[in-house]
Amino acid sequence: MKKSKKKMWFAVFTLPTVFIFLTVVLIPFSMGIVYSFFEWDGMALHEKKFIGFSNYINMFSDERFISSIWITVKYTLIAALIINVLGLLFALLVTQKLKVRNTLRTMFFMPNLIGGLILGFIWQFIFMKVFEQIGSSTGLDNIFFNWILDEKFALFAIILVSTWQMAGYIMIIYITGIQSIPTELLEAAKVDGAGYFQRFKSIMFPLLTPAFTVSLFLSLSNSFKIYDVNLSLTGGGPYNSTEMFAMNVYNEIFSYKNFGYGQSKAVMFFFFVALITLVQVYLSKKREVEM
């Protein structure tokens, strides 16, 4: 009786989740793979033409698509590095015995509560008005100008905004990692005469490896998937210089009406992100230190 009741509660809590996962993730994903083998404009009344792997083959000669991959990789590498460095520095700062540490935590985390679309529009105003005003007032107009209109600087504008949004969130993970380090270890090293940087290098940094694994995974996957800030800040411009992977897929499907070809790009996008993040987690896990 007790066993059957346990099974019933197990079903009550798991079946809704399984149902949602099937209907929202698994079935649409499977349908997307099927559509990727067709030439179709997405209109229900129009005929679908089976073309096999042609959509996948055509990707390798699509210069705009290849350019979007390169832009996304460049953006991800720079953004993930800066986000993690800043997140760790913020975490080290707010775990010190400072009177304003709670205020600082709130300030660093708050940008993460603002949606990417709104954040993009706010920073669009900052680049258009505030940066230009600072440049004309100080004479530093080669630094403070409207970055989003410049092909070379537009990508760095997105990196700046997404870093500002994400670093506070990553800070929380590093704070958890720092607080899980036994204080006895740090106190013993302090008694032995180890300075702060020696304690950080020899004790804290190795024991923070699990936090690095999670933080790197989140920053890499979120950076690869970025769309909202990309859309609201630059819209892929100027001259497609900031059109990233996710935006390229969206434009192919909804702007150019190449539903089948866009789906093949989306499938490729999934496997590309999955492969890179799995390799990162595998390599990071191998370096983790047991306490």
pLDDT computed for residue 252 by the predictor: 93
Are 141 and 135 within 8 A, CB to CB? yes
Average pLDDT, the chain: 91
Query: Which among 87, 277, 283 is positioned nearest to 176, based on CA atoms?
Result: 87
Residue 67's pLDDT band (cuts 50, 70, 90):
very high
Gyration radius (Cα) of the chain, Å:
24
234-270 pLDDT, tens digit per residue, is 998 898 899 999 999 999 999 999 999 999 999 999 9
pLDDT computed for residue 115 by the predictor: 83
Which residues are paired to 49 by β-bridges? Answer: 39
> Residue 167 is encoded by which pair of tokens?
């670093």
137-163 pLDDT, tens digit per residue, is 998 888 899 999 999 899 999 999 999
17-66 pLDDT, tens digit per residue, is 999 999 999 999 999 999 999 999 888 888 899 999 999 999 999 999 99
pLDDT at 291 over 60: no
Q: What is the mean pLDDT of residues 204-213?
A: 90
Q: What is the mean pLDDT of residues 65-78?
A: 95
- State percent of the chain over pLDDT 70: 98
165-187 pLDDT, tens digit per residue, is 999 999 999 999 999 998 888 88
DSSP per-residue string spanning 38-63: EE--S-TTSPPEE-TTHHHHHHTT-H
> Residue 31 is encoded by which pair of tokens?
């349908």
Give dist(CA 80, CA 226) in Å, integer: 12
Residue type at position 79: A
pLDDT computed for residue 2 by the predictor: 67
Residue 1's pLDDT band (cuts 50, 70, 90):
low
Q: pTM of the entire structure?
A: 0.88
pLDDT computed for residue 192 by the predictor: 87
